[in-house]
Structure 1
């Protein structure tokens, strides 16, 4: 199929033409710049009957939910489940918020794949860490849009097939949720560590929690997660620090302590090992988008 240009894809914004969401799937591309026709907030207090996937391509959006709000930035995926508040728009000081989206009613066997590890206000969040991953997902979104626009035989089936692939590949990126057969004791440990990221936790305490010996827990955890307990916790701490650097004005020292590092120099060194940027350099990538 011939590719659609960004200009052509704008026609698929639900705000640019009449759309019905009484279909199994609707998809589009919404580029927003200050003062443009599309530059206003969507507000659906009761959410929608289906799910909504959203991929930010450029700029930042602000997503409001029952307990607060957060900013989504380039290469970030969002998943809105049914019945969850939709209240979002371009972040006030961002020069743009260009995003691709797909609204869909899932096939019954998809439901188990629509659980993401990280949620905020019941909205799934996932940052695609490599530009190649983001480009691949964006191309798949565009394929869905193209098939939705086509009048060829089986075009709807092709669109649904592409969407299923997107859902599966995103689910595979969920380190905790994507293995239904994962040992529930390891899930308990992961959940506890995420809830107590800034605290000192001993393996002996985790072992007692799961009724395992320390050595047995260490062995099972590494087999299930592909990392040591403290190595996995460290990656979660760095991920949380990235959020704080993007979305708050906290100092590096405050962020370090918020994720469990008393020494900000040590935190900076660990952060750089994971992200190949210092915390300050990482924050500069987002400093053109004020957070308040």
Structure 2
């Protein structure tokens, strides 16, 4: 029961415009749209409990549950009796190349959900949502592109969780090293420092990292840098040299060579291919 009696249609504020907020709602909060909306909805539960309902079927979401609602899908969600639901959400229209990122496990009639079990991924998604909400409220220059770039990061993190689920829990020491590499990609990381941070010898870290990820530490760092560079190329107009420095590769010629080896085209050609959409 949602505590409201008859279901009332909930209008979508500012249809077609990216919108994101942080809610903490008690019993009596409910949203019902019989025909869904023309855009996508993503919701990530931080604490408490919420319910997505479809007919007699229910999905009760708790901390770490992420729900993705496709366009025009009937949806009804609410805070159940005796509970408080804290969650962050966004309505958005995806980039054309996001189709693979929007394929998540389906629950109920088209509702997609993923449980974010890995603490580091959970915290990073929460922090990224905070940036999205800040940019969407401030509406400063390029705010919507920044929001979409951050939302793409969230979807990539969700797929990282799915990969962890599929392979079994990754060794937390390897996960910690990956988080360190991602958090400070411009740093000149050394195997010795990384190994010491997780109480391993350099040789043991090298072996364990390769065993768990299929890549060496250096290869993983380069791929993290190049993935971030690709996102920058899609989302802003900074020069290729500037982007190379931002991701920790100060030599633009070396950056272009590594980028082409990874993506099959030069950075400029990659950017141009997305500007056609």
Which TM class, normalised by the smaller chain length? 0.5 to 0.7
Rounded to whole Å, the distance in 2 between the matches of 1:110 and 1:212 is 32
1:196: how far off? 1.1
**For 1:83, which of 84, 87, 107 is the aligned residue?**
87
Deviations 1:164-189, CA, capped at 9 Å, x for gaps? xxx9xx56764x56555322111111
| 1:245 aligned onto 2:233 | yes
Aligned length, in residue pairs? 184
1:205/1:187 CA distance change after superposition, 3 Å: same
What does 1:141-152 correspond to in 2, within 5 Å? none
**For 1:125, which of 155, 160, 172 is the aligned residue?**
155
Rounded to whole Å, the distance in 1 between the matches of 2:9 and 2:255 is 49
SS at match of 1:83: strand
1:100: how far off? 7.3
State the match for 2:176 in structure 1: 188
Rounded to whole Å, the distance in 2 between the matches of 1:253 and 1:224 is 33
Note the aligned Cα RMSD (angstroms): 4.4
SS at match of 2:16: coil
State the match for 1:269 in structure 2: 257
State the match for 2:33 in structure 1: none
1:206: how far off? 0.8
State the match for 1:61 in structure 2: none
1:111: how far off? 2.6
1:226: how far off? 0.7
Q: Do 1:40 and 1:90's aligned partners in 2 also have CA atoms closer than 8 Å?
A: no
| 1:259 aligned onto 2:247 | yes
Rounded to whole Å, the distance in 1 between the matches of 2:176 and 2:87 is 28
1:249: how far off? 1.0
Pick which of 178-187 and 39-48 moved more: 39-48
- The answer to which structure has the higher helix fraction is 2
**For 1:282, which of 267, 270, 274 is the aligned residue?**
270
Q: Do 2:210 and 2:217's aligned partners in 1 also have CA atoms closer than 8 Å?
A: yes
What does 1:1-292 correspond to in 2, within 5 Å? 40-41=16-17, 43=19, 45=21, 46=23, 49=50, 51-53=66-68, 83-89=87-93, 111-112=115-116, 117=121, 119=125, 120-121=128-129, 124-126=154-156, 170=159, 174=163, 179-288=167-276
SS at match of 2:188: coil
1:216: how far off? 1.0
Deviations 1:29-59, CA, capped at 9 Å, x for gaps? xxxxxxxxx9622646438545433689xxx
Long gaps (5+) in structure 1: 1-17, 22-37, 57-81, 128-166
1:126: how far off? 2.6
Rounded to whole Å, the distance in 1 between the matches of 2:8 and 2:120 is 28
1:217: how far off? 0.8
SS at match of 2:115: helix
1:282/1:42 CA distance change after superposition, 3 Å: closer
